[in-house]
Amino acid sequence: DTAVSQTPKYLVTQMGNDKSIKCEQNLGHDTMYWYKQDSKKFLKIMFSYNNKELIINETVPNRFSPKSPDKAHLNLHINSLELGDSAVYFCASSRSVAAEETQYFGPGTRLLVL
Amino acid sequence: SQQGEEDPQALSIQEGENATMNCSYKTSINNLQWYRQNSGRGLVHLILIRSNEREKHSGRLRVTLDTSKKSSSLLITASRAADTASYFCATGLTGGGNKLTFGTGTQLKVEL
C-alpha cells in the first residue's frame, strides 16, 4: 500500500562504481521528483519529470541521469560515484506540476560512498 | 545562500507546551508549505498557505505568513512526544510551478 516506494533503502558502495536507485508511485500522479538531503539535512531538488518528460534539472553533474520509463517510475542512475555523493536521496510525486500540489515523499535511499 | 532559513535550529520542550518555529525567505513566493520529517523517514506534508493568506489552521497547527517581512511561523499547540521530528518550510516561487525550495529545518524534541 506504500504510495511512493524506493529501492534500495540502503546502498553502500565504493568510489568509482555505478549504481541505480529506483522509485515507484502508485498514486496515479503525473509528476515525480528526486531530491538530495545532505548530512546537515539540507534538502535540494535535483530533477523533476512530468508525464515522463524532464522539466527541472538543477545543475546536477552529468554523472546523474534520471530515467522515467513510465509515469509511475522515476529511476536515478549515478556513474562514477564520488565521496560527496553520500547523502539520502528522496523520490517524491505530485498530482501535477501546478503550484500548490502536495508532494508525497518516499522513505529515502541512504547512499554511502566509501 | 538558501531560500528558506529556519530558527531555531533545534527546540526542546515539555509535552503540553506550545512549539513555535520560524522561517524566513528571500524572494516572492506563490505559497509556503510546512513538512515534517521523522527520524530516518521521508517528509510528510503538513499545511500550505498561499501568498495572499495571512493565517491558516489545521488541527493543532497554526501557520502565519507575513509577505512584507518574508517570514512564516508554525505553531504546534499542546505538543506531544509524537511531534518529535524535524520541521521544514518550503517555498513555491511565483512562476515556479511546483518546484519547492526547502529551508534548513528545525529539530523539535518533545519530552515527556
Q: Output the pLDDT for position B2.
A: 42
What residues of B are in contact with residue A40 (Cβ under 8 Å)? 104
Q: Does B105 touch chain A (CB under 8 A)?
A: yes
In contact, B68 and B28? CB cutoff 8 Å:
no
Average pLDDT for B45-49: 96
Confidence of residue B5 (pLDDT cuts 50, 70, 90): confident
Q: Output the pLDDT for position B1.
A: 36
Confidence of residue B97 (pLDDT cuts 50, 70, 90): confident
Mutate to test the interface with B, among A41, A45, A56, A59 (most CBs of B within 10 A): A41
3-state secondary structure of B51: coil
Lookup: cell for B83: 511531534
Question: Beta A104-105 vs A87-94: how paired, if at all?
Answer: antiparallel
What residues of A are in contact with residue B35 (Cβ under 8 Å)? 105
Lookup: cell for A44: 535540494
Q: Output the pLDDT for position A99.
A: 82
List pLDDT tens digits, range B55-83: 999 999 999 999 999 999 999 999 999 99
Q: Residues B46, A27, A41, B103: what is their CA dihedral angle, to the nearest 10 degrees?
A: -50
Q: Please name the member of A43, A103, A106 whose beta carbon is closest to the beta carbon of B45.
A: A103
Lookup: cell for A12: 553502500
Q: Output the pLDDT for position A1.
A: 61
Min Cα distance B56 → chain A (Å) is 15
User: Dihedrals φ, ψ of A4, to 5°?
Assistant: -125, 120
In this prediction, the residues of chain A whose per-residue pLDDT falls under 50 are none
What residues of A are in contact with residue B53 (Cβ under 8 Å)? none
Distance CA A95, CA A98 (A): 8
In contact, B90 and B100? CB cutoff 8 Å:
yes
* Cross-chain Cβ contact B42/A105 below 8 Å: yes
Q: Does B99 touch chain A (CB under 8 A)?
A: yes
